[in-house]
């Protein structure tokens, strides 16, 4: 966490650069139990970048896809209990509106580095129609050429979104 805090403090020095890039930071995951000084840094980063919309970077911290779904179900159940939502009105969109990435499109492609061939409890709901690209390359070693390879491969895929 110490390194992560340093990264967030370092971001304060890049506010002008971030304004040019128009990059919004979002932190997804459970915040309960995180140190208060870290929570303050997270909240400040989100507040300072909330107005940007060109790029959204989701930083998964204390994140698990199953925990995310549990949180969404609890939120929906509370709305039903409070009379704000009918059980018959619950749709897939209702679930999408209550997960951490609400309001964002699902990922078109998920890049899994380091030779792993599993999701590892990552974006469980959002990845339903995502394409996957697996690689033995470690994330810090990715180059622009690797990203171009991923994009070339992706543009040549036939996406059916569950259709035949």
Beta strand 23-28 with 55-60 is parallel
What spatial distance separates the first Cα and last Cα of the chain, rounded to whole Å? 46
Whole-number Å distance between alpha carbons of 11 and 143? 22
Strand blocks (E) in the chain: 23-28, 55-60, 109-112, 131-134
By C-alpha distance, which of 152, 97, 155 is closest to 126? 97
Whole-number Å distance between alpha carbons of 5 and 1? 6
Supply the pTM of this predicted model.
Answer: 0.82
CA 134 vs. chain centroid, Å, equals 18
**How many residues in total does the chain contain?**
164
pLDDT band at 12 (very low <50, low <70, confident <90, very high): confident
Reported as a single tens digit per residue, the pLDDT across 59-92 is 999 999 999 999 999 999 999 999 999 999 999 9
- The kind and range of the H/E element at 67 are helix 65-81
């Amino acid at each position: 966490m110490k390194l992560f805090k340093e990264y967030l403090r370092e971001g304060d020095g890049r506010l002008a650069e971030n304004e040019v890039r128009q990059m919004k930071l979002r932190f997804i995951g459970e915040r309960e139990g995180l140190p208060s000084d870290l929570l303050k840094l997270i909240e400040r980063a989100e507040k300072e970048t909330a107005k940007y919309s060109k790029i959204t970077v989701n930083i998964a911290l204390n994140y698990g896809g199953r925990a995310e779904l549990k949180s969404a179900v609890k939120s929906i159940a509370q709305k039903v209990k409070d009379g704000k939502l009918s059980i018959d009105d619950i749709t897939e969109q209702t679930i999408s509106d209550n997960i951490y990435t609400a309001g964002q499109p699902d990922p078109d492609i998920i890049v899994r580095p380091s030779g792993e061939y599993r999701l590892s409890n990552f974006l469980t709901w959002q990845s339903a129609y995502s394409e996957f690209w697996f690689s033995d390359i470690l994330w810090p070693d990715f180059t622009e050429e690797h990203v171009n390879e991923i994009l070339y491969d992706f543009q040549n895929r036939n996406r059916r979104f569950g259709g035949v």
